[in-house]
């Protein structure tokens, strides 16, 4: 008798399939039910026993034979193969897989904190940064652009330039000049799978184990993790209202510096021109590269976007990083690097080795939107929407918390940082759990600080609050519930 798994017994009357029979027989074979060279039921007898067609049983036996579990011979009952006995037992399976070892890179990844848990989708409000509202995505424009790409006649389907589609790079070249006053040659542009891959390429090509890299504190934690995974060590430079404090840069021991000068992540400072020149002068002395992450420069609500480092005269060692994750969707995974001419060939080679090139259809669709002006029109529209969300959040926080809250980084981007001066930093975890129980997701700023540097960390709860995925009612309701959670803790 073939002993079926519990899930299979329920469907025995008619839903029994070859895969279920195969799994049940394989389990019995490896547990030694039939012994070495033991005979299994005939296909005809097993089909009658299970009330299925003989064809279904035959398919299961043929799969078992193909994998070496049974011996099938014409006119004879299937026979269990001796080599299959016990080969997949749990303990033996574990021993097989515990004998290997990771590379030094893999071992270093073990020290990186696990990704934050996913919060329930049923929350009333989740202030998680990085999410966008589905209603903001230009569905019709994107659909037309994709259809135009997939229906165009091609001589052949082939691998493309690892730098990216020539059409997209041409469109980006014009866009970067119009929107960011950034001039570059086409071959300096490398299209990547989101800014994350851009940072990974920089880490692979510019850092060795034991090197040092300069990074803001607090900072974009994924950048710090990528660089640290190479075995390089961070030099964390404190951030104030003007971004990275470049007065603290000393010596020439670092190979690169990672900065967000147009809107420091997460605290929102804008690096003034004096500090920009000071940073570039340090990089020249240190013979180091500066990675400029311009992740959300499209969202400036008080003045025009601040020109990038890359546009300054002494910026020959700046690597510029941009993305459409904050304007279209993080699910598209399209970003771009603008690298110095001396690096353009090695970055193209590295990109080719990693994944050949970024998916071409999405590149061509984005090129269509850039060429037509639809992309920039879309950015202007969602900038207005996000400004409305931003003002709703600021007004609600001011109304509910008054002088008990300090808000920074509100002049640009898609998030703010709120310091709740009513609660000490030690109560951060408790607040997050209490907020979750009443239906809101709030996220601490503390994981963005270097854990090895305690100096400069605030004494009270700090929250990174994204608003681009929320409507105004969700924002107001979320702030109301946050106030409730804080009041409960104070009591």
Instruction: For residues 153-181, give the mean pLDDT.
Output: 93
Q: What is the mean pLDDT of the chain?
A: 91
d(CA 293, CA 310): 11
Question: What mean pLDDT do residues 410-436 have?
Answer: 95
What is the pLDDT, as a whole number, of residue 3?
A: 62
Which secondary-structure segment (H or E) carries 59? Answer: helix 54-66
What mean pLDDT comes out for the span 429-439? 95
| Token reading at 13 | 């009357």
**Rounded to the nearest 5°, which phi and psi values hold at 16?**
-60, 125
pLDDT in tens, 193-223: 999 999 999 999 999 999 999 999 999 999 9
Q: What is the pLDDT of residues 287-314, one digit of tens each?
A: 999 999 999 989 998 777 788 999 888 7
What tens digit of pLDDT does each residue of 328-337 get? 999 999 999 9
**Under the phi-then-psi rule, with left for phi > 0, alpha for psi from -120 to 50, and beta for the rest, what region is 373?**
left
- Predicted confidence at residue 7, as pLDDT, reads 42
How far is it between the farthest Cα atoms of the chain? 89
10 Å Cβ neighbour count for 83? Answer: 10
Q: Which segment, 64-78, 442-456, 474-488, is predicted with the most confidence on average? A: 474-488
> Is pLDDT at 89 greater than 60 in this prediction?
no
pLDDT at 302: 79
Q: What is the pLDDT of residue 14?
A: 43
Question: Taking a C-beta distance cutoff of 8 angstroms, is the pair 266, 223 a contact?
Answer: no
- Could you tell me the domains of the chain? 6-92 (1.10.10.10), 125-133+378-490 (3.90.1150.10), 138-375 (3.40.640.10)
pLDDT tens-digit series, residues 249-298: 987 789 999 999 999 999 999 999 999 999 999 999 999 999 999 999 89
Torsion of CA 101, 107, 112, 116, to 10 degrees: -10
pLDDT at 1 (0 to 100): 58
> Is 238:217 a contact under the CB 8 Å cutoff?
yes
Per mean pLDDT, which range of 70-74, 79-83, 327-331 is the poorest?
Answer: 79-83
Percent of the chain with pLDDT strictly greater than 70: 93
- For a pLDDT cut of 90, what percent of the chain falls above it? 76
Name the H helices within 266-309. Answer: 273-286
pLDDT of 88 strictly over 80: no
**What tens digit of pLDDT does each residue of 341-366 get?**
999 999 999 999 999 999 999 999 99
d(CA 223, CA 331): 19
b/e code 152-181 from CB counts within 10 Å (16+ = b): eeeeeeeebbbbbbebbbebbbebbeeebe
Gap between the Cα atoms of 219 and 444, Å rounded: 13
Whether the predicted pLDDT of 452 surpasses 60: yes
Q: For residue range 121-147, what is the model confidence (pLDDT) as tens digits?
A: 889 999 999 999 999 999 999 999 999
Asked if pLDDT for residue 12 goes beyond 60, the answer is no
Local confidence band at 8 (pLDDT 50, 70, 90 cut-offs)? very low
pLDDT confidence of residue 11: 44
Examine the pLDDT at 234 and tell me if it is beyond 70: yes
pLDDT at position 93: 46
């Amino acid at each position: 008798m073939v002993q079926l798994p519990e899930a299979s017994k329920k469907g025995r009357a008619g839903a029994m399939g070859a895969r279920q029979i195969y799994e049940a027989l394989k389990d019995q074979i490896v547990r030694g039910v039939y012994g070495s060279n033991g005979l299994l039921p005939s296909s005809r007898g097993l089909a009658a026993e299970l009330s299925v067609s003989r064809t279904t049983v035959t398919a299961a036996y043929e799969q078992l034979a193909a994998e070496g579990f049974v011996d099938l011979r014409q006119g004879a009952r299937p026979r269990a193969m001796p080599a299959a006995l016990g080969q997949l037992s749990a303990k033996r399976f574990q021993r097989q897989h515990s004998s290997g070892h990771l590379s030094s890179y893999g071992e270093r990844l073990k020290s990186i904190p696990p990704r934050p848990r996913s919060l329930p989708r049923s929350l009333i409000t989740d202030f998680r940064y990085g999410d966008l509202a589905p209603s903001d995505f230009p569905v019709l424009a994107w659909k037309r652009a994709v259809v135009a790409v997939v229906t165009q006649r091609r001589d052949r389907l082939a691998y493309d330039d690892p730098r990216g589609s020539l059409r997209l790079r041409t469109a980006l070249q014009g866009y970067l000049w119009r929107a960011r006053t950034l001039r570059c040659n086409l071959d300096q542009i490398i299209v990547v799978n989101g800014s994350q891959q851009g940072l990974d390429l920089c880490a692979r090509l510019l850092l060795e184990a034991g090197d040092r890299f300069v990074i803001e504190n607090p900072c974009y934690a994924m950048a710090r993790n990528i660089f640290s995974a190479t075995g390089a060590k961070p030099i964390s430079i404190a951030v104030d209202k003007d971004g990275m404090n470049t007065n603290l840069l000393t010596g020439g021991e670092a190979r690169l510096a990672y900065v967000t000068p147009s809107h420091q992540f997460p605290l929102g400072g804008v690096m003034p021109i004096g500090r920009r020149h000071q940073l570039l002068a340090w990089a020249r002395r240190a013979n180091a590269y500066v990675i400029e992450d311009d992740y959300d420069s499209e969202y400036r609500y008080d003045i025009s976007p601040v020109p990038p480092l890359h546009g300054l005269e002494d910026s020959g060692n700046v690597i510029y990083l941009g993305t459409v994750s904050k304007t279209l969707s993080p699910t598209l995974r399209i970003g771009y690097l603008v690298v110095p001419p001396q690096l353009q060939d090695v970055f193209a080679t590295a990109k080719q080795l990693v994944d050949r090139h970024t998916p071409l259809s999405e590149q061509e669709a984005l090129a269509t939107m850039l060429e037509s002006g639809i992309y920039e029109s879309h950015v202007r529209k969602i900038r207005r929407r996000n400004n409305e969300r931003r003002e709703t959040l600021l007004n609600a926080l001011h109304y509910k918390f008054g002088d008990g809250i300090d808000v920074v980084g509100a002049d640009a981007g898609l998030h703010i940082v709120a310091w709740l001066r009513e609660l000490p930093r030690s109560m951060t975890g408790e607040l997050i759990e209490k907020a979750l129980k009443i239906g809101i997701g709030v996220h601490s700023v503390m994981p963005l600080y270097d854990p090895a540097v305690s100096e400069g960390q605030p004494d009270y709860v700090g929250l990174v609050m994204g608003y681009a995925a929320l409507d105004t009612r969700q924002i107001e309701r979320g702030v109301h519930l946050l106030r409730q959670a804080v009041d409960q803790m104070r009591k």
